[in-house]
């Protein structure tokens, strides 16, 4: 570890929408390289990479897992990423830590919106890509349609490198367009193939596709273009050279075909991963800021540079403690050594370094540029932190967590669970920064927010499994507000005599509305000492405290002005408490007279859906009292901008999935408060009454 040629390291993420076969592909790569002795399968729970009980239960990837192996003379570092919308934050963090990616496209469904989002991140982080059109053995498999969806939906120039021989039940091999040889797969799942001549019925198509490949490759380097213009052909070596140059430059994406679950075409893909994807040494220096001087610095991907690494994932376990996963960018790190957390400005002690294959850990002595390793029980380090040589500190940029889109209120199942819930949730948030936990001071509820209902449900299952904490999920209360539409003038007198010193306060108030968002304003118009100066702040305090529980449904009253313009006092019985009570009583009486109304929170939404779903989504948004503000086309999709009451979209995530067959995505954030329409308000007040 750390002593082999960095040029022979390939670290890459396996990316796609959910169900495209990413984990099956990684299982096949590990099997072919000899890491595993049998082909793991997702559907029967034997996968090495999907090992968490929540993943086995659902047959999906929930959390990024790590694999490593040697293929031919290259060291492969593989991140198997989630593809379902609820867990794409894991994928984004993983892409920040790799140089390359293998993009899976289903031969059945082509590209989905999740894939588009993932490819946007690849472009953002400069991740170079090879594509694999998977599931060629399945019914309705269509290579050309899947290839076209890459251009239509992703806007990516795709270059065919292997052409499928047959499809569905007849899928039996691929034509390698570089060597112009057919690879006929063995049907034993070994990943092997017989290399033979191209079938006669495919010869013309293979030559046409090779011509297209040659044209694309010729444009990558001047020397290849000159040779191609002179001789109208390129050798195998020149094709490979240009294919690598074009991939590294992001000019195009090489495309191969196969079936991961049958281990067909995976050997060929692994060879082209070695050839096309970048080594750490092919990548530019990693830029970061010096935390002491705040100046920009760079680290070259070389062992003779100061050590630096980025933490892209944290795993919390109540028994073994925290496991930190990091990508090494420069220098090297050894087991049983020290390094510096520049993000937290804290020294850390490294114990044993591990390479991971799923949950299986292999101890290693050292890690160098491009390696992805794990270390246990770091005290200060969290996801997104930069680890480095303390004498040469640097901090790398890490993506901000994606905003959650759904929230639930948590209620402990028992008093014992209540005592443990906060500490357990803190551990899970450390592991998954896309989760947000807060105590709503207004509703007094503990709110858990996540990227979707499944994300939250998985978190609750982990609470039970890892920390033995049981909670109940409830729809959170909507934080309504109250305000006033009219004006009221009133006298509020508080007089109490029950033996001994009495209580007396008399205030004259004017209550009136303010523009939305103006808050609360108190105006003192007392003249001539009608009320002594020392009592006036108590009146304001009484009004403010009373306004926290409005007269309609007990929600805070906002955007109003209270003017104190007259009153009287008693030289003996008046006190600050009496005037505070009089102010409180005055607010309640005035609010009732000033036409109180309910305000509801409005959220701003951006909803990305396929073109064929736009009508359904807009119709649904209108039925939720939403207002569509506009649409913007985005490569096969439409981004709908809308404003809608929060109460109407508390469970929008599963409903959008249903409407769009899991092809839609959305984000939302608070926009403003708006008056509840009169015809809705009475019904809403009836619903809220039991919760007063």
**pLDDT single digits (tens) 355-381:** 999 999 999 999 999 999 999 989 899
User: Are 396 and 297 within 8 A, CB to CB?
Assistant: no
State the average pLDDT for the chain: 92
Residues 41, 171: one domain? yes
Q: Can you give the CATH number for the domain in which 97 is found?
A: 3.40.50.300
Question: Residue 1's pLDDT is what?
Answer: 46
**What DSSP element (H or E) covers 375?**
strand 372-376
Q: Is residue 669 part of a domain?
A: yes
Looking at the predicted structure, is the pLDDT value of residue 418 above 90?
Answer: no
Residues 213, 254: one domain? yes
Residues 463, 526: one domain? no
Q: Is residue 36 part of a domain?
A: yes
Q: How many other CB atoms are there within 10 angstroms of residue 87's CB atom?
A: 24
Q: Is residue 311 part of a domain?
A: yes
Q: Is residue 397 part of a domain?
A: no
Residues 565, 589: one domain? yes
Looking at the predicted structure, is the pLDDT value of residue 334 above 80?
Answer: yes
Number of domains in the chain: 5
Within 13 Å of residue 94, how many CA atoms lie on the same side as its CB?
Answer: 29
Alpha carbons 198 and 101: distance in angstroms, whole number: 29
**pLDDT single digits (tens) 262-305:** 999 999 999 999 999 999 999 999 999 999 998 999 999 999 99
Residues 412, 361: one domain? no
Residues 378, 444: one domain? no
**pLDDT single digits (tens) 551-560:** 999 899 999 9
Residues 120, 22: one domain? yes
Nearest CA among 236, 106, 118, 214 for reference residue 160: 214
Considering 230, 260, 282, which residue would you say is the last residue of a domain? 282
**pLDDT single digits (tens) 211-260:** 999 999 999 999 999 999 999 999 999 999 999 999 999 999 999 999 99
Residues 148, 227: one domain? yes
Question: Residue 402's pLDDT is what?
Answer: 83
Q: Is residue 1 part of a domain?
A: no
Distances in Å between the Cα of 598 and the Cα atoms of 342, 441, 622 are 49, 19, 21
Least confident of 41-45, 323-327, 386-390, 491-495: 41-45
Q: Is residue 272 part of a domain?
A: yes
Looking at the predicted structure, is the pLDDT value of residue 497 above 90?
Answer: no
Distances in Å between the Cα of 622 and the Cα atoms of 228, 613, 615, 625, 657 are 58, 14, 11, 5, 18
Helix (H, G, I), strand (E, B) or coil at 176: strand
Q: How many other CB atoms are there within 10 angstroms of residue 223's CB atom?
A: 12
- Please, what is the angle between helix 415-431 and helix 453-467, to 10°? 110
Question: Residue 692's pLDDT is what?
Answer: 39
pLDDT band at 27 (very low <50, low <70, confident <90, very high): very high
CA 500 to chain centre: 66
Considering 259, 282, 305, which residue would you say is the last residue of a domain? 282
**pLDDT single digits (tens) 508-550:** 999 999 999 899 999 999 988 899 999 999 999 999 999 999 9
Q: What is the share, in percent, of the chain residues with pLDDT greater than 70?
A: 98
Which structural domain, as residue segments, surrounds residue 575? 481-594
Q: What is the share, in percent, of the chain residues with pLDDT greater than 90?
A: 71
The runs of H, that is alpha helices, within 22-156 are: 22-32, 53-58, 88-95, 113-125, 143-149
pLDDT band at 321 (very low <50, low <70, confident <90, very high): confident
Look at strands 173-176 and 74-80 and give their pairing: unpaired
Q: Is residue 394 part of a domain?
A: no
Considering 240, 267, 282, which residue would you say is the last residue of a domain? 282
Residue bearing the bigger pLDDT, 496 or 14: 14
Residues 635, 525: one domain? no
Question: Residue 307's pLDDT is what?
Answer: 97
Residues 278, 290: one domain? no
Backbone φ and ψ of 222, nearest 5°: -60, -40
Alpha carbons 513 and 508: distance in angstroms, whole number: 17
For residues 408-427, give the mean pLDDT: 87
Q: Can you give the CATH number for the domain in which 436 is found?
A: 3.30.70.870
Looking at the predicted structure, is the pLDDT value of residue 42 above 90?
Answer: no
Question: Residue 195's pLDDT is what?
Answer: 97
Extended strands (E) in 34-192: 65-71, 74-80, 100-106, 128-134, 158-160, 162-165, 173-176, 181-185
Q: Is residue 445 part of a domain?
A: yes
Residues 181, 132: one domain? yes
Q: Can you give the CATH number for the domain in which 554 is found?
A: 3.30.230.10
User: Are 264 and 137 within 8 A, CB to CB?
Assistant: yes
pTM score, whole prediction: 0.81
Question: Residue 663's pLDDT is what?
Answer: 75
pLDDT band at 499 (very low <50, low <70, confident <90, very high): low
pLDDT band at 3 (very low <50, low <70, confident <90, very high): low
From first CA to last CA, the distance across the chain in angstroms is 64
Residues 278, 294: one domain? no
């Amino acid at each position: 570890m750390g002593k082999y040629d960095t040029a022979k390291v390939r670290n890459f993420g396996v990316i796609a929408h959910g169900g495209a076969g990413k984990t099956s592909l990684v299982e096949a790569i590990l099997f072919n390289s000899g890491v595993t002795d049998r082909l793991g399968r997702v559907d029967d729970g034997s996968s090495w990479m999907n090992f968490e009980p929540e993943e086995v239960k659902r047959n999906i990837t929930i959390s990024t897992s790590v694999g490593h192996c040697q293929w031919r003379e290259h060291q492969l570092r593989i991140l198997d990423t989630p593809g379902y919308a609820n867990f794409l934050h894991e994928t984004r963090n993983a892409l920040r830590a790799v140089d390359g990616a293998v993009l899976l496209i289903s031969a059945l469904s082509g590209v989905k919106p999740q894939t588009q989002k993932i490819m946007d991140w690849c472009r953002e982080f400069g991740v170079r890509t090879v594509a694999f059109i998977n599931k060629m053995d399945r019914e309705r498999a269509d290579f050309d349609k899947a290839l076209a969806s890459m251009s239509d939906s992703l806007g990516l120039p795709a270059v065919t490198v292997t052409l499928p021989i047959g499809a569905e039940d007849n899928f039996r091999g691929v034509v390698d367009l570089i060597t112009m040889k057919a690879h006929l797969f063995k049907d034993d799942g070994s990943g092997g193939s017989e290399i033979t001549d191209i079938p006669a019925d495919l010869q013309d198509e293979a030559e046409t596709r090779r011509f297209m490949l040659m044209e694309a490759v010729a444009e990558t380097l001047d020397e290849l273009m000159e040779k191609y213009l002179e001789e109208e052909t390129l050798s195998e070596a020149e094709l490979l050279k240009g294919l690598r140059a074009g991939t590294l430059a992001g000019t195009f994406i090489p495309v191969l075909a196969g079936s991961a679950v049958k281990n067909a075409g995976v050997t060929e893909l692994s060879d082209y991963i070695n050839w096309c994807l970048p080594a750490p040494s092919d990548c530019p220096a990693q830029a970061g800021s010096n935390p002491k001087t705040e100046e920009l610095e760079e680290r070259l991907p070389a062992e003779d540079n100061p050590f630096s690494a980025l933490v892209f994932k944290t795993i919390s376990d109540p028994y073994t403690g925290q496991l930190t996963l990091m990508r090494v960018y420069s220098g090297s790190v050894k087991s049983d050594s020290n390094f510096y957390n520049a993000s937290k400005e804290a020294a850390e002690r490294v114990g044993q370094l591990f390479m991971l294959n799923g949950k299986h850990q292999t101890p290693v002595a050292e890690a160098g540029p491009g390696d992805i390793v794990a270390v246990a029980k770091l005290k200060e380090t969290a996801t997104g932190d930069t680890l480095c040589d303390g004498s040469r500190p640097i901090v790398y940029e890490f993506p901000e967590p994606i905003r959650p889109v759904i929230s639930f209120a948590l209620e402990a199942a028992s008093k014992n669970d209540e005592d443990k819930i906060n500490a357990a949730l803190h551990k899970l948030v450390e592991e998954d920064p896309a989760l947000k936990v807060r105590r709503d001071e207004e509703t007094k509820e503990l709110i858990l927010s996540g990227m979707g209902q499944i994300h939250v449900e998985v978190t609750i299952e982990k609470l039970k499994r890892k920390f033995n904490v049981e909670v109940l999920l409830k729809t959170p209360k909507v934080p309504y507000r109250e305000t006033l539409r009219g004006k009221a003038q009133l006298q509020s007198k508080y007089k109490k005599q029950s033996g001994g010193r009495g209580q007396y306060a008399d205030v004259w108030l004017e209550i009136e509305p303010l523009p939305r968002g103006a808050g609360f304003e108190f105006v003192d118009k007392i003249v001539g000492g009608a009320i002594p100066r020392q009592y006036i702040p108590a009146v304001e305090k009484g009004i403010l405290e009373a306004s926290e529980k409005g007269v309609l449904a007990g929600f805070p009253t906002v955007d109003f002005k209270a003017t104190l313009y007259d009153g009287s006092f008693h030289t003996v019985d008046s006190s600050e408490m009496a005037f505070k009570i009089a102010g409180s009583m005055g607010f309640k009486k005035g609010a009732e007279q000033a036409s109180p109304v309910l305000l509801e929170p409005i959220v701003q939404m951006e909803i990305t859906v396929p073109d064929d779903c736009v009508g359904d989504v807009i119709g649904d948004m209108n039925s939720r009292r939403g207002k569509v503000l506009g649409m913007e086309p985005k490569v096969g999709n439409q981004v709908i901008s809308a404003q809608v009451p929060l109460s109407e979209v508390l469970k929008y995530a599963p409903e959008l999935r249903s409407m769009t067959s899991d092809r839609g995505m959305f984000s939302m954030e608070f926009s403003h408060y708006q008056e509840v329409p009169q015809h809705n308000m009475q019904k809403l007040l009836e619903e809220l009454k039991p919760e007063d």
